[in-house]
Amino acid sequence: MPHRLGPMQTLPSPMRKFAESDVVDYCTVGVGSAGGVLVQRLARAGFRVVALEAGPFWDTERDWVSDENGSHELYWNDLRITGGTHPLALGANNCGKGVGGGSVHWAAFAPRFHPSDFRVYSEDGVGADWPISYWDLKHYYELLEREIPIAGPAWFPWGDPHGHPYGPHPLGGVGDVLVRGCTRLGIRTAAGGPVAILSASHGDRPHCIYRGFCLQGCKVGAKASTLITHVPDAITHGAEIRAHSMASRISVRDDGRVDGVVYIDRDGREQFQKSRAVIVSGYAIETPRLLFNSACPGHRHGLANSSGTLGKFLMAQAGNVVAGRFDELIRLYKAPPAHALSEEFYETDRRRDFARGFAIQTVGPLPVAFAKQMIAAMGAWGWGLRRVMMDYNHWATLGVLGEILPWEDNRVELAEEKDQFGLRVAKVTFNLHDNDKKLIEFGKNKVMEVMWAAGARQVVQESRFAHLVGAARMGKDPSTSVVDKFGRTHDIPNLFICDGSVLPTQGSANPGLTIQALAARTADYLIQQGDAIFFSNRRDLAEPRIRYDLSPPYTRFKGNPRLA
Amino acid sequence: MSRKSFPIRSTGGDLRDLDQPGYYPGYSTMAQQKSWDRATRNVVSQRLEETPPTHFFSPQEAALLGAVIDRVMPQDDRSDARTIPILSVIDQRLHKNALNGFRYEDMPPDQDAYRLGLKAIERMARSRFKQPFVELSIHRQELILKSLHDGKPDPEQAVWKRMPVHRFWALLMEDCVTAYYSHPWAWNEIGFGGPAYPRGYMRLENGLPEPWEKDEQRYDWNAPVDSLSELDEQGAPPEHGSLHGHGGGH
């Protein structure tokens, strides 16, 4: 049987296999949102690339199901310790394992960050500035919106106004509630996107069938994950994706450069992949964990941690879910969970007593997730739980997506406990600060107001958090950041980080699109630098030329509409 | 030993031995299995047909947890043949030590948490009512469990000084609903569409049923008269941040 990536696409075969003794150009760790895009471009540009992935290489027809409980293996289920005043739920909440990483189970909202997100410290005196501006990333946003591609309105009014290559999706019952409630309060909305879900077929990927199982892995192949958008093209162009390979340590030479990655293969044996440079794309927990676990003489506190900021400034977004019960039927399980939003409260408003803002977005919990929300939001149990669940089809759910600022005490460290490979597991500490609490209180109340305005008879809410970024942030100053604006670590010239952990702030936009745009930019930089990365310690900070010739198939002839 | 306490239809009469509670009579997700993909059909059928034997819990622990589950996720209205297995699902998870990706720093490992929690519940029963938990009346069982739900264990128990009661409660409830609401009989009860690939949905707005779904036929019902687990408008617990791993995220 061929290896299936959706109903039409198959994995290119055979995949190149490098020999144990081969020294490759790049060994990358983690094939998620960032890793998939990065490896695809490096392979197209002719580099010899091995990508290690801790989880399996999914065959979507064989491994994925339209079932909540049956999708448990999509998540990073290995032990981590979580604490602080507001401990983050991990696992299914925000961490993927397997080729495609978290992009396999993201809801696929794909808004851009706003220009203000890159200047939070300058504009608001809190958080941090990025070492790049929105305008450095804009063309990468446009390019990735065409490659993925993104469906949404032709006119999106917030931030840097823009349009989306594919048309918007039809509204489901929850989107109706969002539009109705917001409209009654005079709040502008966008419907049918922006989401990384096909509203029309794209090459060998069918369009959406509105079955609502986005978070369980899209068997249809309509929702984008790098497993189906970029990884096949990477393999076609000679990259090796090595699944079931858990990186345990990055090897550092005496001259201060790295020379490969030690990993544990699917049979539990330790292996060493030699490479001329290493890129870590493990996301905001596994990336710092691997760098901490790679501590060695000269890097006692972890690799790339001379600043002491590795693992710090971890961010999650406020993700409070507001649920409203309506007299009429909603049937919230239909349509993608992500399909309508408002960014009307995204920017700092001087009339409010906090900096930055939040978005309002549809969410679509399936029965098990919804039952858990009712346990938390209503204290439901016993007969009360049975009763509220019998009304499942009468409820609609909207999410707050609120910006939480980067704080030094929100961090990833190593715990004493070890995992099945004998590696120390991550300990995650998360605390809310004053600005965060005020923002969440305001956002939560505003979304509850929207729900009442939409005609709900009862409104409840649950506190939770969404996404994970930061913990290896980029910056100009090597004493306060881990990597430079291209993801190169300040300390080690041939060690890079390319994933959500480099974000200095997070806005109130879902981070997936931004992570992929940054990965494409990092790839262009590496390609432009060529062999200098492998032999020189010189740090060239000139912006690379954007490479429009490295996109996956079917990108050509797509456009970014502008209705200015 | 099986003691039951039935909900009551408000127009009179117990709701007992039902093949299918809920407002969608005649609706069956399994009747649609021919339109599902094979992998999904296998996973759901297996859940329906196989109840794994108990490995992790001792017979005493299993009896006690079974009695607890009967109160926190009651199924007294369901006929014996249509009772959804919960205990065996929890047992299997703990037997395999299948984790959900994280552990709160103030919590013991899941396996220990269950053993500790059960021990505490049994001690609370004996200290307050001088009887094993499984022999208590349904109302007395609910009194003890309600005190855990409220985060105020009555009577106090040393275990709850070592393990936060609200986290144990969330662990227990989340495991129970994961078993119950992933079962096709529960999907029929609540009118959930179930698996939908490759067929998909076509009526997205206005809560309209697909051709194979059913219209809602509501009726009023009441929990058993002395039950403590009915919804309470003021019943939301204090906030403890996000307790679970899957909130139908963004």
End-to-end CA distance of chain B: 45
The span from the first CA to the last CA of chain A, in angstroms, equals: 50
Touching check for A70 and chain B: CB below 8 Å?
Answer: yes
pLDDT band at B51 (very low <50, low <70, confident <90, very high): confident
The model's pLDDT over A246-255, given as tens digits with 9 standing for 90+, comes to: 999 999 999 9
Closest Cβ–Cβ partner in A7, A67, A91 for B43: A67
CB atoms within 10 A of CB A130: 24
In this complex, do A211 and B230 lie within 8 Å of one another by their Cβ atoms? no
**Chain B residues close to A467, C-beta within 8 Å:** 250
Residues of B in contact with A380 (CB under 8 A): 231, 235
Q: What pLDDT does residue B48 have?
A: 94
Crossing angle for the helix pair B138-149 and B110-129, to the nearest 10 degrees: 130
Chain B residue with minimal CA distance to A359? B250
The answer as to whether B133 is a domain residue is yes
Partner-chain residue, chosen from B186, B231, B248, that has the shortest CB–CB distance to A369: B248
User: Is 0.90 topped by the overall pTM?
Assistant: yes
Task: State how far the Cα of A276 lies from the Cα of A495, in Å rounded to an integer.
Answer: 9
pLDDT of residue B130: 98
Residues A70, A62: contact at Cβ < 8 Å?
Answer: no
pLDDT at B236: 57
Reported in sequence order, the residue ranges of chain B that DSSP labels E, i.e. its strands, are 8-9, 103-104, 221-222
Confidence of residue B241 (pLDDT cuts 50, 70, 90): very low
CB contact (8 A) between residue A65 and residue B195:
yes
pLDDT bin (cut points 50, 70, 90) of residue B2 is low
Any B CB within 8 A of A161 CB: no
> Which H or E run contains A235?
helix A231-236
pLDDT average, residue stretch A47-61 = 98
Q: Which chain B residues are closer than 8 Å to A215 by Cβ?
A: 246, 248-249
| Tokens coding B46 | 């297996």
The pLDDT of residue A222 is: 98
From the list A292, A278, A307, A286, the residue with the least C-alpha distance to A488 is A278
From A153's Cα to the closest Cα of chain B, the distance in A is 19
Residues in chain A: 564
CA nearest B213 in A: which residue? Answer: A331
Closest of A197, A224, A228, A190 to residue A59, by C-alpha: A228
CB contact under 8 A, A384 and B74: no
Q: In chain B, what residues touch A1 (CB-CB under 8 Å)? A: none
Question: Tokens standing for A433?
Answer: 């600060």
What percent of chain A is predicted at pLDDT more than 90? 98
Three-state SS across A272-324? EEEEEEEEECCHHHHHHHHHHHCCECCECCCCCCCCCCCCECCEEEECCEEEE
Count interface pairs A-B at CB distance under 8 A.
318
Asked if B247 and A464 come within 8 Å (Cβ–Cβ), the reply is yes
pLDDT bin (cut points 50, 70, 90) of residue A535 is: very high
From chain B, the residues in CB contact with A397 under 8 A are 248
Q: What is the mean pLDDT of chain A?
A: 97
Could you tell me if residue B4 is inside a domain? no
> What letter represents residue A316's amino acid?
A
The answer to whether the CB atoms of B105 and A66 lie below 8 A apart is: no
Using a CB-CB cut-off of 8 Å, the residues of chain A touching B181 are 367-368, 370-371, 389
Among A12, A407, A411, smallest CA distance to A231 is for A12
> Do residues A502 and A513 make contact, with C-beta atoms less than 8 angstroms apart?
no
Q: Where do the DSSP E strands lie in A129-269?
A: 190-191, 240-242, 246-252, 258-264
**Interface membership of A467 toward B (CB under 8 Å):** yes
pLDDT tens for A114-140 read: 999 999 999 999 999 999 999 999 999
CB proximity A209 to B under 8 Å: yes
pLDDT value of position B239: 54
Q: Answer yes or no: is B209 within a domain.
A: no
> Which residues of chain B neighbour A460 with C-beta distances below 8 Å?
236
Cβ(B194)–Cβ(B35) under 8 Å? no
What's the mean pLDDT when you consider all of chain B?
92
Distance separating alpha carbons of residues A466 and B236, to the nearest angstrom: 22
The answer to the question of residue B234 being in a domain is: no
Q: Do B229 and A389 touch (CB under 8 A)?
A: no
B237 CB within 8 Å of a chain A CB: yes
Phi, psi angles (nearest 5°) of residue A425:
-85, 165
d(CA A385, CA A375): 7
Res. B240: pLDDT tops 50? no
C-alpha Rg value of chain B to the nearest Å: 19
| Assigned token pair, B61 | 């622990």
Q: What is the nearest CA distance from B113 to chain A, expressed in angstroms?
A: 15
Distance of CA A86 to the CA centre of its chain: 21
Question: Which residues constitute the domain of residue B161?
Answer: 29-194
**Closest-CA residue of chain A to B199:** A209
Average pLDDT over residues A30-44: 98
Which positions in chain B touch A62 (Cβ < 8 Å)?
39
Rg (CA), chain A: 22
Which residues in chain B (6-45) have CB-CB distances under 8 A to chain A?
Answer: 7, 21-23, 36-37, 39-40, 43-44
Q: From CA A305, how far away is CA A310, in angstroms rounded? A: 5
Chain A residues lying within 8 Å of B195, measured CB to CB: 65-67, 211, 213
Q: Name the amino acid, one letter, at A31.
A: V
Q: What is the pLDDT of residues A451-492, one digit of tens each?
A: 999 999 999 999 999 999 999 999 999 999 999 999 999 999
Count of CB atoms situated within 10 Å of the CB of A392:
25
pLDDT at A66: 95
Fill in the amino acid letter for A162. H
* Chain A residues within 8 A of B239 when measuring between CB atoms: 463
Phi then psi for residue B64, to 5 deg, are -65, -50
Our CA-based measurement puts residue B199 at a distance from the nearest CA of chain A, in whole angstroms, of 7
Q: How far is A237 from chain B (nearest CA, A)?
A: 31
Of the candidates A30, A28, A21, A34, the residue with the CA atom closest to the CA atom of residue A50: A28
Which residue, among A490, A453, A25, has the nearest Cα to A274 in the 3D structure? A25
Question: Hey, is the C-beta of A541 within 8 angstroms of any chain B C-beta?
Answer: no
> E strand or H helix at B170, and its extent?
helix B165-180
- Considering only alpha carbons, which residue of chain B is nearest residue A366? B248
- Closest approach of B76 to chain A, Cα-based (Å): 10
Assign B234 a pLDDT band (cuts: 50, 70, 90).
low
CA distances from A166 to A110, A194, A260 (A): 13, 9, 41
On whether any CB of chain B is under 8 Å from the CB of A377, the answer is yes
Residues A528 and A411: their CA atoms lie apart, in Å, by 34
- Tell me which residue has tokens 């109840």: B51
**Sheet of strand A424-429, all strands in order from the earlier edge strand to the far edge:** A411-418, A424-429, A81-83, B103-104
- Whether residue A431 lies within 8 A of chain B, CB to CB, comes out as no
What number does CATH give the domain A4-14+24-168+194-315+407-431+470-550?
Answer: 3.50.50.60
Residue spans per domain, chain A: 4-14+24-168+194-315+407-431+470-550
Q: Which residues pair with A241 in a beta bridge?
A: A51
Q: How many whole angstroms separate alpha carbon B119 and alpha carbon B123?
A: 6
> What local confidence, expressed as pLDDT, does residue B245 receive?
46
Query: Virtual CA dihedral for A529, A532, A534, A538, nearest 10 degrees?
Result: -110
- Residue type, position A513, single letter: L
The arithmetic mean of pLDDT across residues A84-108, rounded, is 95
Query: What are the structure tokens assigned to B245, written together?
Result: 């791993």
Question: Measured between alpha carbons, how far is B120 from A371 in angstroms, rounded to an integer?
Answer: 26
How high is the pLDDT of residue A93? 85
**What confidence tens digit (pLDDT) does each residue in B131-182 have?**
999 999 999 999 999 999 999 999 999 999 999 999 999 999 999 999 999 9
- How many structural domains are present in chain B? 1
